[in-house]
């Protein structure tokens, strides 16, 4: 992928991994990215995919599109998971062959490995034992995707590759209360518990299972790196039959450790209840990433760092808390964080560049201490550049903002 004008199709560009790959490609200067929404292209429809490939003729394809979900969703919709994923993979891989795509990268999942595989799990563990029953239909579809890539490469000399990511998290994740993966599910529970002053947060299972987590930006970096490897380099480190590559950190944590870390980051004061009546899933899932390291790539974002980045985003995954804006505004206006986070658009006077600050703290009078504050220096510009989609100018929990500042101070060793 040395030609930045190459036509690159990211199938599933609105998903967590697909959007991350798109961002990385744009940052690298790729200017000919092909995208298509679900309304524009049904990837489960063979005719639609065939027509799309004949028209667009992509040079490279990242096959990130998939139907995904957590344990609950896999239990409830097994037919949807196996059918939709098989159709997406078959249609895209076959059309890539027919239209002479130079290189394709298929994204699977480490759920392809046996439930009781030796740890850490190497690529050679594929098809050596029984799968975890919870997500077996999804795993079988992903195994089929690997074998499709291998079979087309063997029979037709295609350059179709596969990578198997561990558990992913980061921007664009799914926060659905029932269908989300473990990190967004736990983040949501702690966030809502903090907002609602709930005394305890329930976590399914014993908390003992070990899991590995990879930030989606690291995953995007790995995908582009593997796609960019020369065919000679790729083939020198992979097998003809087991040609897939694990992508992970090589480090795991217990669900209990994960929950306690998220609890600390969210600054939740309640307790954690582990519901042992709910299933744990596989006891441990850790990727052997030695192959990827031999190919000279490894992850760079540590779990706590990635979780803090994730927490600093709103639940829709698109808007970060503007810490620098809030800090600069607070300094310029001499307002407390709690006051900044209560400012309303209706109290802003754009003509005079002033704003009403309501209920300022005063030992003589606790309520009704309203005052008109001038927005001096750059403070007015900071306000007007905020998105006007809420009654509040800075619609963030002041405790979360303060906790974010506190974490940075702690990391820098600043005492106040």
Stated pTM of the model: 0.73
CATH 1.10.443.10 applies to domain 323-412:
yes
Q: Spell out the residues 6+ positions from residue 396 whose beta carbon is closer than 8 angstroms to its own.
A: 321, 326, 341
Please state the domain extents for the chain: 8-311, 323-412
What pLDDT was estimated at residue 399?
A: 77
* Angle at CA of residue 302, ends 413 and 258, nearest 5°: 95
What pLDDT was estimated at residue 316?
A: 43
What pLDDT was estimated at residue 325?
A: 83
Q: How far is CA 408 from CA 195, 267, 297, 326, 369, in A?
A: 22, 14, 29, 14, 32
What pLDDT was estimated at residue 315?
A: 43
What pLDDT was estimated at residue 317?
A: 43
Phi, then psi, of 121 in degrees rounded to 5: -85, 120
d(CA 180, CA 256): 18
What pLDDT was estimated at residue 334?
A: 86
Tell me the average confidence (pLDDT) per consecutive run of 10 residues in the chain, 416 residues long. Answer: 92 93 93 92 98 98 91 87 98 98 97 93 96 92 98 98 94 75 88 91 94 93 96 94 95 94 90 92 88 93 70 50 84 88 93 88 59 89 85 85 71 55
What pLDDT was estimated at residue 300?
A: 84
Q: List the catalytic residues.
A: 138
What pLDDT was estimated at residue 69?
A: 78
What CATH number should be reported for the domain whose range is 8-311? 3.40.50.720
d(CA 409, CA 388): 30
What pLDDT was estimated at residue 343?
A: 94
């Amino acid at each position: 992928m040395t030609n930045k004008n190459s036509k690159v199709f990211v199938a599933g560009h609105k998903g967590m991994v697909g959007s991350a790959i798109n961002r990385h490609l744009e940052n690298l200067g790729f200017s000919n990215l092909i995208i298509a929404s679900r309304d524009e292209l049904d990837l489960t429809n063979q005719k639609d995919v065939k027509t799309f490939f004949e028209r667009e003729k992509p040079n490279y394809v990242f096959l990130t599109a998939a139907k995904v979900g957590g344990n609950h969703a896999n239990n409830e919709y097994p037919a949807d998971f196996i059918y939709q994923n098989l159709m997406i993979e078959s249609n895209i891989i076959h059309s890539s062959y027919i239209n002479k795509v130079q290189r394709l990268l298929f994204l699977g999942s480490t759920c392809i490995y046996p439930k009781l595989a030796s740890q850490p799990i190497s690529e050679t563990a594929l098809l050596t034992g029984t799968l975890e029953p919870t997500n077996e239909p999804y795993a079988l579809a992903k195994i089929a995707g690997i074998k499709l890539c291998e079979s087309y490469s063997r029979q037709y000399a295609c350059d179709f590759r596969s990578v198997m990511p561990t558990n992913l998290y980061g921007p664009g994740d799914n926060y659905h209360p029932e269908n989300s993966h473990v990190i967004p599910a736990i983040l949501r529970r702690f966030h809502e518990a903090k907002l609602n002053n709930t005394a305890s947060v329930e976590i399914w299972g014993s908390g003992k299972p070990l899991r590995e987590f990879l930030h989606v930006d690291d995953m995007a970096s790995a995908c582009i790196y593997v796609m960019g490897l020369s065919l000679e380099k790729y083939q020198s480190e992979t097998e003809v039959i087991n040609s897939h590559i694990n992508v992970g950190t090589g480090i795991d944590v217990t669900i209990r450790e994960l929950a306690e870390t998220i609890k600390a980051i969210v600054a939740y004061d309640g307790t954690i209840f582990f519901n042992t009546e709910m299933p744990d899933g596989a006891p441990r899932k850790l990727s052997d990433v030695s192959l990827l390291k031999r190919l000279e790539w490894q992850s760079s974002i540590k779990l706590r760092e990635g979780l803090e980045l994730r927490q600093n985003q709103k639940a829709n995954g698109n808007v970060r808390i503007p810490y620098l804006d809030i800090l600069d505004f607070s300094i310029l206006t001499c307002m407390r964080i709690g006051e900044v986070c209560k400012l309303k658009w209706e109290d802003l006077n754009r003509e005079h560049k002033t704003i009403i600050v309501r209920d300022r703290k005063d030992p003589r009078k606790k309520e009704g201490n309203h005052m008109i504050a001038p927005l001096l220096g750059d403070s007015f510009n900071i306000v007007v550049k905020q998105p006007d989609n809420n009654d509040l100018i800075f619609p963030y929990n002041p405790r979360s903002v303060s906790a974010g500042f506190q974490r940075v101070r702690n990391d820098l060793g600043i005492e106040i």
